[in-house]
Amino acid sequence: MSIEKYIQDQKIFDPRIIDDQLGNQRLWSSESVILANNGLKNGYKLTESPYNSLVKDFLFRKANLAFKYSDDELEVVKRCAKDKIFFGNNFVSLKDEDKGWQRITLRWYQTNLLNDFSNLNNRWHIIMFPRQSGKTTTTIIEIVHFLTYSIEKDCVVVAQSDTSVSEILKKIKEAFHSMPFFLQPGFISATKKGLVLDNGCRLSIGIAQESTVQGFSLDFLFIDEFAYIRENLAGKFWANIYPTLTTNPKSRCIIASTPNGRNSFYNLWIGAVNKTNTFKSHRIYWTDVPRHQDNDDFKRQTIKNVGEDAWLMGFECSFDVGLKSVFNSVTQLLLREVQKKSQHLWHNDNCFLGQLHDKFEFFDDKEYPYDIKNDFFLFSLDISEGLEQDSSVIKIKKIDWDIENKRLFFREIGILKDNEISVDDLAILTLDLSKFFDIKKIKIVVENNSFGGEYFTAIKYNFLHNSKYSWFDYNVIAKFWRDSKESYDAGIRWNEDNKKIAVKSFKTLVSERIIVVDHFLTIEEYLNFGRSKNGTYKANYGNDDLVLSDVAASAYIKSQNVYKDSFLKDVEYELRQRSNDKTEEMIQSEIMKIREAKQDIIISEMRTFKVRNHEKEIKKLAEADYTMLI
């Protein structure tokens, strides 16, 4: 059958001019578009083009074009409208200078971001991306999907320069161009300043300045590289555009940037992290980005090419370029992998102790079992004054035995972080919490600088004067050597020297998985903690309370401390017994105890009955003891 006969039988509109016979029905379909494309390639003139003739560089669907969708196409349209991930992975391509058109394959963190953008409870997002992490790809899919499947909405893209914002617009046009014709919206216009679609949506671009989009309602604002907008403009720009956003209760805003010092972007980011503004924060780490090159090799090569400061700012996302992460790239990657998998495993309801305080979180004991009354635990506390600034922290780690590596390890199972609880209330909570544990099987490590004295006073007062706490044993508080007193004292008092040693211990214990963490926010603070140029340790941004409580625990675990040695030696002995991983010394000791016990029995019998020579029987029993133990 000829193609012409097939076209006639199927009643497909044929846009080609053949023998000057016009009269086909002007109802387009995907087959008609294919014929038009083939006709153009083969030199045919068309009676009508499906494309907007005013757009020269891209093939955009003509506005208000009559189009007949197949049943399959309608199903795809419906699914794409509901599923941005399906849409992005299957129907969007971008042009690479070297490789040409490349179909997008979303990375896991891009998928998470796009899904989170759909959460109507979080309409404003601020994202900190490292270089070469797919920031542009993520936001382009979000913008293209928004414009395609919305009606009469305004979207504005803002950047620090004409070059930057024009490049984003070019990528958006490429994404529309790459879409199958049946998925494209109709284009009324496509200029250097934006797009107008036949569904009533408009896209405008501009540089950050006081008058940008001033005076009209705004549905979706994307600000690219906010940190690189000149600081004398950034504050005024945001102050002027903010009322425009708030006039629309359903407005959406996405700000994405790498850091550039402590400027307006930093202030918005800190507000989001500390939950003092309405933005939801998202941080992407350079180790999240898949590469063919080993991470350490990539880091070394990049530092050689761009310098350490550029690496710290562009890839480590450091607001202070002198701040270096305490962890190497291998540990960072491992922590990030753990963080991705474990966020859903922490909840207040996972343990009955969550009833003590609504901000307690506990690990799912189905994933890692723990017995509050029978296991051994290490508590570590970082104390704040409870004025909604820094947080007080209680961390509970189960002490366990690693049979393979023959060592103790400490795994977090409970965390409280509260910036409102007073020091007195924290002391009461510690007492209330401790009573559910075996007091002989726990140690409590407390930082004893600013508010430690107040905390210990409250502990002592309550267990001495309140019969409710008379069971408490003050010796459960871990002791540390105090040079000024030339003796051991409760709590660790930081100074410049011992804090540096403790941080190094913390780095080692976490890197070697002796301290095991699964808690999302704890790992977030770990990855944000570093050493500055002057040698001090601090957070890149936000707080480090969850880190410092673990630094205190590390100081205890690694300390040359007779009280610590005695406690952990007893813990190890008990855990080895439970796991049947006894040392030769333990086995020999038990053999001696069995021998002594049996000899006592024999001697007792000798005194009661007729004296006999039992030397042979004693020897036989002793030889059997070793076999019984092993």
pLDDT one-digit tens code per residue, 574-585 = 999 999 998 888
Q: Write down the pTM of the prediction.
A: 0.74
What integer pLDDT is reported at residue 77 of this predicted model?
96
pLDDT one-digit tens code per residue, 395-405 = 999 999 999 99
Pairwise CA distance, residues 252 & 244, whole Å: 11
Residue ranges making up the domain that contains 310? 296-322
Distances (CA, A) of 488 to 475, 506, 560: 12, 22, 12
Same domain, yes or no: 452 and 571: yes
Pairwise CA distance, residues 92 & 83, whole Å: 13
Check pLDDT > 50 for residue 11.
yes
What integer pLDDT is reported at residue 262 of this predicted model?
86
Residue 341 inside a domain? The answer is yes
| CATH number, residue 346 | 3.30.420.240
What integer pLDDT is reported at residue 566 of this predicted model?
94
Same domain, yes or no: 526 and 403: yes
Give the chain's mean pLDDT: 88
- What number of other Cβ atoms are within 10 A of residue 626's Cβ? 13
Residue 65 inside a domain? The answer is no
Pairwise CA distance, residues 213 & 204, whole Å: 9
Same domain, yes or no: 195 and 102: yes
Residue 284 inside a domain? The answer is yes
Please name the residue that has the structure tokens 């000024």: 484
Same domain, yes or no: 85 and 186: yes
Q: Which residue has the higher pLDDT, 620 or 411?
A: 411
Beta bridge partners of 268: none
Distances (CA, A) of 574 to 302, 365, 401, 584: 50, 21, 10, 15
Nearest of 601, 599, 569, 598 to residue 586 by alpha carbon: 569
Q: How many distinct structural domains can be found in the chain?
A: 5
What integer pLDDT is reported at residue 19 of this predicted model?
46
Same domain, yes or no: 23 and 126: no
Residue 62 inside a domain? The answer is no
Same domain, yes or no: 428 and 495: yes
Pairwise CA distance, residues 252 & 78, whole Å: 23
Nearest of 351, 334, 382 to residue 516 by alpha carbon: 334
| CATH number, residue 222 | 3.40.50.300
Pairwise CA distance, residues 34 & 157, whole Å: 33
What integer pLDDT is reported at residue 247 of this predicted model?
86
The average pLDDT across 471-484 equals 90
Same domain, yes or no: 520 and 594: no
Share of the chain above pLDDT 70, in %: 90
Residue 47 near residue 28, CB atoms below 8 Å: no
Same domain, yes or no: 412 and 542: yes
Same domain, yes or no: 275 and 390: no
Share of the chain above pLDDT 90, in %: 62
Residue 623 inside a domain? The answer is yes
Check pLDDT > 60 for residue 628.
no
CA dihedral 500, 502, 507, 512 (to 10 degrees): 150
The average pLDDT across 148-163 equals 94
The average pLDDT across 159-177 equals 94
- What is the enclosing helix (H) or strand (E) of 396? strand 392-402
Pairwise CA distance, residues 17 & 242, whole Å: 54
Same domain, yes or no: 571 and 602: no
Residue 372 near residue 356, CB atoms below 8 Å: no
Check pLDDT > 70 for residue 622.
no
Residue 485 near residue 380, CB atoms below 8 Å: no
The two tokens of residue 497 are 């020297």
Residue 225 inside a domain? The answer is yes
The average pLDDT across 1-26 equals 57
The two tokens of residue 578 are 């439970």
Check pLDDT > 90 for residue 243.
no
Check pLDDT > 60 for residue 587.
yes
Residue 208 inside a domain? The answer is yes
Same domain, yes or no: 317 and 385: no
Pairwise CA distance, residues 201 & 301, whole Å: 45
Same domain, yes or no: 314 and 348: no
What integer pLDDT is reported at residue 24 of this predicted model?
46
pLDDT one-digit tens code per residue, 300-336 = 999 999 998 899 899 999 887 778 889 988 899 899 8
Check pLDDT > 90 for residue 515.
yes
Residue 491 phi/psi, 5° resolution? Answer: 85, 160
Residue 159 inside a domain? The answer is yes
pLDDT one-digit tens code per residue, 60-113 = 999 999 999 999 999 999 999 999 999 999 999 988 777 788 888 999 999 999
Distances (CA, A) of 326 to 28, 381, 482, 525, 590: 62, 21, 27, 11, 44
Most trustworthy range by pLDDT among 146-155, 531-540, 592-601: 146-155
451: Cβ contacts below 8 Å, ≥ 6 apart:
383, 384, 385, 423
The average pLDDT across 242-265 equals 90
What integer pLDDT is reported at residue 275 of this predicted model?
85
Pairwise CA distance, residues 80 & 412, whole Å: 42
